[in-house]
């Protein structure tokens, strides 16, 4: 079989499906001529125009190795006996040889009427291609569809497409990062690519992806990335069909092992199959993101009244219920503008404007721009605020961190995350890729802090709600698996990587050390709880000595709960939750009874850091007295900047019995009254 030979020999994915389409064109064209001649010989002369039209994947000239084929007999009179004889003469020989070919016989008016009610029919109007027969009838259909369905009814069509994408994604797992992804209909699959092209054809009449650059819908770089992704997806799908000998679009574990080898991946620091799946997920992500952008960019905004606008400052606007940029070109000279926009999204509870979101995503993909963003001190503070913000955001999945990852800002701020993006461990225990799991773990901790799991995780919910210094814990949780791209012992390697990241993000020396410790020990509490006898006092003392303070124990416990509960849906069983809770409570009691010096040492380190900010201040003795008089628990429970502010307030009371001060709160809408 010529096509199978092409696939086995490493033929390009697109070249194989295009070759398959050309072979079918030749076969069906010849059969059409023969069937037409036979029908006429039997006295069945045509009563009007008739054409054999390729639809669906065949119309797009994208027919997989074992894909079915769909055609339409488009005619002036569907009841014409000539058309019936023509269809029988063409289809029966194909069915006899086992070709899976579907067909319909319709007129122009019937097809247009059906397309208004049926999305599948509407999309076929964008893919139709004449194989044989009369040209003018297809031209009439396409012209009338363009005027009525895709010009006047464009918004309705795009809304139907978007709704269909959402429903299909949910049906096939809701994420492109599944262990066994669906290559055709899943998130980031070939159907998503079809949707992007349908939206472009309906909006601009574009027939090639290269035309999208001319229309300003995509950059040349984005077109090239999309073409590379399409090539990968088709190569995988053709290999799946070849292995199964039938239409098979789910990439199972067994298929992954075999296809990784066939595509030339070899074992190295990581398994060949893990390298292959990382490449697959990255390409699928390009498709998914392009589809979302294309659906948004194809929309035409029609206003009946002027949109409301509010200047939020710093180049950010509230416009028509969305947060947007005053000037997207300003991103080039002021990269922090991107994070200021998302800061406003979180604080104003308004979604980002699609055009501004696209501009940010395009900027974040440029290495030089990302480097300038990392170098800006304000960027670190804004990123840490977004990372540790517990509130739901008006973005997809209600996750501001997932949104930052989606547009590329998380990788711009933490480029060390790039090697684990799309990386999955090839086992049945881990459900998602490392990056998606890490983001999900952070989101789980946010939900715990909000109280969403107060009934199932009461201890964790209480501890998270009272977190005094959330940023180190949230950063440690985000980075806990960052070492997985570098082979075994990922906890130790991740801890080494975490130190410069935390320092670059502006954390204090005390908090940097805490982040490093959390990453290095992120598996320890789970192992102690499930592999040791936690009823043995010696074990509890050993754990207490290794942890060192209640502060550390609390953060390690919360990290473990968030990590374990997002590894896979069944990982956090009630037994494991109880074991972790019992261990936490036992170690807390041990730490409080023995009063180890870890907390005191950390409090002293915080005092030293606070003192650095007092250089040059008036009445240094008063400031120092405040630091010495305040208990360790106060120092451990407040950020360094807040401690400095409180010390200056205490200094400025000048012996008055009561002194009040109003200070900025955690957001622009909140002030703090200090007594």
In three-state form (DSSP H/G/I as H, E/B as E, the rest C), the secondary structure along 441-469 is HHHHHHHHHHCCCCCCCHHHHHHHHCCCC
Phi (first) and psi of residue 269, to 5 degrees: -60, -35
Q: What is the pLDDT of residue 403?
A: 93
Q: Report the C-alpha gap between 308 and 331 in whole angstroms.
A: 23
Burial class, 300, CB count within 10 angstroms (exposed 0-12 / middle 13-18 / buried 19+): exposed
Asked if 121 and 115 touch (Cβ cutoff 8 Å), the reply is yes
In CATH, what is the architecture of 158-297? Answer: Up-down Bundle (1.20)
Neighbours of 78 (CB within 10 A): 15
Q: What pLDDT does 499 receive?
A: 97
- Please state which architecture CATH assigns to domain 2-152: 2-Layer Sandwich (3.30)
Q: Would you say 368 and 321 are in contact if contact means Cβ atoms under 8 Å apart?
A: no
Q: Quote the pLDDT of residue 623.
A: 86
Domain boundaries for CATH 3.30.460.10 within the chain = 2-152
* SS3 at position 372: helix
The reported pTM is 0.76
What's the pLDDT score for residue 112? 95
- pLDDT at position 430 is 64
Task: Indicate the SS3 state at residue 129.
Answer: strand
In the chain, CATH 1.20.120.330 covers 158-297
CA angle 427, 428, 432 (to 5 degrees): 85
Residue 596's pLDDT is what?
46
Cβ burial, residue 214 (10 Å; 0-12/13-18/19+): exposed
Distance in angstroms (rounded) separating the CA atoms of residues 16 and 235: 9
Taking the chain (675 residues) in runs of 10, the rounded mean pLDDT of each run is 87 92 95 94 92 95 92 95 94 91 94 93 94 96 91 89 92 79 93 94 83 81 91 96 92 92 86 89 90 85 69 91 92 95 94 90 93 94 93 89 93 93 68 86 95 90 88 96 87 95 94 96 92 87 90 95 87 87 90 64 82 84 87 76 86 83 64 79
The set of residues, in sequence order, having a beta carbon less than 8 Å from that of 639 and lying 6+ positions away, is: 469
Cα 175 to Cα 169: distance, rounded to the nearest angstrom? 7
Instruction: Determine the pLDDT at residue 383.
Output: 97
């Amino acid at each position: 079989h010529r096509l199978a030979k092409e696939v086995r020999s490493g033929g390009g994915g697109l070249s194989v499906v295009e070759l398959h389409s050309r072979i079918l064109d030749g076969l069906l064209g010849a059969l059409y001529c023969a069937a037409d001649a036979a029908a006429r010989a039997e006295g069945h002369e045509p009563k009007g125009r008739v054409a054999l039209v390729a639809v669906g994947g065949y119309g797009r000239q994208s027919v997989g190795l074992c894909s079915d084929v769909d055609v339409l007999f488009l005619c002036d009179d569907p009841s014409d006996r000539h058309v019936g004889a023509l269809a029988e003469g063409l289809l029966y020989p194909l069915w006899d040889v086992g070709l899976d070919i579907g067909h319909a016989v319709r007129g122009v008016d019937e097809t247009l009427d059906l397309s208004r009610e049926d999305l599948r029919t509407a999309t076929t109007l964008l893919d139709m291609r004449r194989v044989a027969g009369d040209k003018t009838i297809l031209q009439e259909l396409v012209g009338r569809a363009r005027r009525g369905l895709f010009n006047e009814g464009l918004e309705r069509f795009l809304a139907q497409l978007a709704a269909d994408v959402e429903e299909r994604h949910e049906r096939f797992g809701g994420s492109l990062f599944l262990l066994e992804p669906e290559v055709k209909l899943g998130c980031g699959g070939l159907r998503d690519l079809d949707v992007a092209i349908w939206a472009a054809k309906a909006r601009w009449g574009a027939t090639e992806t290269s035309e999208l650059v001319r229309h300003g819908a995509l950059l040349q770089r984005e077109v090239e990335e999309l073409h590379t992704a399409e090539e990968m997806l088709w190569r995988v799908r053709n290999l799946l069909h070849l292995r199964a000998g039938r239409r098979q679009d789910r990439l199972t574990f067994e298929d992954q092992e075999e296809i990784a080898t066939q595509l030339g991946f070899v074992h190295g620091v990581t398994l060949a199959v893990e390298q292959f799946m990382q490449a697959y997920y990255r390409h699928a992500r390009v498709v998914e993101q392009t589809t979302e952008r294309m659906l948004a960019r194809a929309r035409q905004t029609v206003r009946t009244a002027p949109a409301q606008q509010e200047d939020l400052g710093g180049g950010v606007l509230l416009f028509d219920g969305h947060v947007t940029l005053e000037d997207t070109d300003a991103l080039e000279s002021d990269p922090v503008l991107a994070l200021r926009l998302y800061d406003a999204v979180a604080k104003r509870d308004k979604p980002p404007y699609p055009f501004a979101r696209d501009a940010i995503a395009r900027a974040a993909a440029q290495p030089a721009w990302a480097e300038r963003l990392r170098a800006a001190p304000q960027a670190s503070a804004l990123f840490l605020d977004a990372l540790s913000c517990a509130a739901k955001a008006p973005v997809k999945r209600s996750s501001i961190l997932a949104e930052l990852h989606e547009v590329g800002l998380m990788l711009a701020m933490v480029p060390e995350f790039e090697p684990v993006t799309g990386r999955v461990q090839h086992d049945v225990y881990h459900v998602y890729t490392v990056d998606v799991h890490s983001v999900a773990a952070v989101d789980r901790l946010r939900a715990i802090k909000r109280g969403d799991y107060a009934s199932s995780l009461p201890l964790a919910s209480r501890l998270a709600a009272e977190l005094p210094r959330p940023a180190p814990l949230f950063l440690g949780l985000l980075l806990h698996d960052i070492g997985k791209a570098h082979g075994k012992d990922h906890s130790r390697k991740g801890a080494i990587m975490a130190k410069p990241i935390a320092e670059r993000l502006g954390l204090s020396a005390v908090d940097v050390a805490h982040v490093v410790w959390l990453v290095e020990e992120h598996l320890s509490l789970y192992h102690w709880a499930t592999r040791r006898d936690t009823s043995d006092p010696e074990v509890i003392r050993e754990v207490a000595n290794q942890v060192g303070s209640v502060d550390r124990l609390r953060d390690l416990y919360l990290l473990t709960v968030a990590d374990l509960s997002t590894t896979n849906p069944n990982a956090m069983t009630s037994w494991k939750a109880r074991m972790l809770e019992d261990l936490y409570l036992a170690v807390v009691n041990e730490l409080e009874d023995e009063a180890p010096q870890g907390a005191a040492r950390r409090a002293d380190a915080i005092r030293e850091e606070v003192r650095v900010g007092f250089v040059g201040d008036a009445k240094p003795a008063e400031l120092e007295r405040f630091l010495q008089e305040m208990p360790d628990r106060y120092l451990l429970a407040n950020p360094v900047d807040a401690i400095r502010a409180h010390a200056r307030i205490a200094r400025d009371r000048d012996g008055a019995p009561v002194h009040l001060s109003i200070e900025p709160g955690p957001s622009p809408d909140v002030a703090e009254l200090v007594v």
